[in-house]
């Protein structure tokens, strides 16, 4: 196979006995061709790629791992020619029900957010990409105003800053985004000062995206159906709130929660997914101020858009509709931000996360 192909990796909710991570090749017109699938991992709901493009990491979103009340992070080696994945190893995520994994930009550590227990961990990676036991763990403490969704901490993501000096973690249960300083030499991630920013009670911050210019951060709030824009001070790891916008139409009265947030590679647009309204909300970015202007909504042609991701070229946006078991490809207009259906989709059981890689 020729170089310059784009591989698409899809994590799902599936038992270890079934195929649960799927690999496709993305064609020039947005069509997806199946390449491989792996079983043996339970609920590999969220994925992350190593910066060298040769390894893939998945959380196992479970409450028990090797007889202990934790989840796991699992590493795979990637055959870049065939798209095949082979197991390297798994390690405990220290907490339970991990729902998000990321890898630092130097490829030295993986990080996981544990939704069930409400904490985040840092796991070293050796030169072959294998995971070591966690070198640090931070347990979030407290509760929010919603007795059903916020009875305790629920860490929903951990995202690495562009300069690799800080990590941000959104906690849905506490209405906070935590800021951690990264100490790769000692394998530690102490809390920054100030240690967090607080959101409106009941907002439920979920996922975080940095603007490519490194000056702004966007946080999508699951329960509040909002996106909050922040100015990011890279030297200190501090966030300063700029604006909060709604992700749903003003006349919408049904039940809906947000899920994923993405900033376009050209920095002009922010996209957020609505589960219930089953749409992607589009916003134009003022690249001087970081503020957002609503542009409208694109139906996702499926139910419950859990996650979506652009391909590395920025031409396409792929949407994982969890409850209709389909991945839909849209063409992304670089000038208007509009998402245009390509007519291509594939069936994947309970898709949760999409990652893309050029090989």
What pLDDT tens digit does each residue of the chain (359 aa) get? Answer: 345 899 999 999 999 999 999 999 999 999 999 999 999 999 999 999 999 999 999 999 999 999 999 999 999 999 999 999 999 999 999 999 999 999 999 999 999 999 999 999 999 999 999 999 999 999 999 999 999 999 999 999 999 999 999 999 999 999 999 999 999 999 999 999 999 999 999 999 999 999 999 999 999 999 999 999 999 999 999 999 999 999 999 999 999 999 999 999 999 999 999 999 999 999 999 999 999 999 999 999 999 999 999 999 999 999 999 999 999 999 999 999 999 999 999 999 999 999 999 99
Whole-model pTM over 0.75? yes
* 269-48-327 Cα angle (round to 5): 65
Residues 28, 34, 36, 39, CA torsion sign: positive
Phi, psi of 287 (to 5 degrees): -70, -10
Tell me how far apart the alpha carbons of residues 37 and 186 are, in angstroms, rounded to a whole number: 36
Q: Tokens 């798994």 label which residue?
A: 90
β-bridge partners, 213? none
How far apart CA 20 and CA 302 sit, in angstroms, is: 20
Which own/partner pairs from 122-127 qualify as long-range (CB within 8 Å, at least 24 positions apart)? 122/187, 122/188, 122/189, 123/73, 123/91, 124/187, 125/50, 125/75
Three-state DSSP state, 324? helix
What per-residue string of b and e applies to 5-19 under the rule 16 or more CB within 10 Å gives b? Answer: bbbbbbbbbbeeeee
């Amino acid at each position: 196979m020729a170089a310059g192909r784009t591989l698409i990796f899809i994590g799902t909710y599936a038992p270890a006995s079934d195929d649960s991570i799927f690999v496709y090749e993305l064609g020039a017109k947005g069509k997806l061709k199946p390449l491989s699938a792996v079983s043996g991992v339970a609920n590999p709901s969220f994925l992350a790629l190593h910066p060298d493009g040769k390894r893939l990491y998945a959380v196992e979103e479970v409450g028990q791992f090797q007889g202990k009340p934790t989840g796991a992070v699992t590493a795979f080696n990637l055959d870049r020619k065939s798209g095949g994945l082979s197991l390297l190893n798994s390690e405990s995520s220290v907490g339970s029900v991990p729902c998000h994994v990321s890898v630092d930009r130097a490829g030295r550590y993986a990080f996981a957010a544990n939704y069930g227990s409400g904490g985040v961990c840092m796991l070293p990676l050796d030169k072959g990409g294998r995971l070591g036991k966690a070198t640090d763990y931070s347990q979030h403490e407290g509760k929010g105003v919603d007795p059903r969704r916020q009875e305790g901490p629920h860490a929903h993501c951990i995202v690495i800053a562009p300069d690799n000096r800080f990590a941000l973690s959104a906690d849905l249960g506490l209405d906070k985004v935590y800021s951690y300083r990264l100490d790769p030499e000692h394998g530690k991630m102490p809390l920054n000062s100030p240690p967090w920013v607080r959101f409106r009670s009941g907002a439920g911050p979920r996922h975080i995206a940095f603007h490519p210019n490194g000056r702004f951060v966007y946080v999508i709030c699951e329960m509040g159906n909002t996106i909050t824009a922040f100015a990011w001070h890279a030297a200190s790891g501090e966030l300063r709130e700029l604006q909060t916008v709604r992700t749903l139409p003003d006349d919408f009265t049904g039940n809906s929660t947000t899920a994923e947030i993405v900033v376009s590679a050209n920095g002009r647009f922010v996209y957020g997914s609505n589960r219930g309204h089953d749409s992607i909300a589009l916003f134009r970015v003022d690249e001087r101020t970081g503020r957002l202007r609503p542009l409208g909504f694109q139906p996702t042609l499926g139910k419950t858009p859990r996650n979506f991701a652009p391909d590395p070229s920025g031409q396409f946006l792929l949407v994982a509709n969890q409850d209709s078991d389909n991945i839909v490809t849209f063409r992304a207009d670089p000038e208007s931000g509009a998402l245009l259906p390509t007519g291509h989709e594939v069936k994947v059981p309970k898709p949760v996360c999409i990652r893309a890689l050029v090989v």
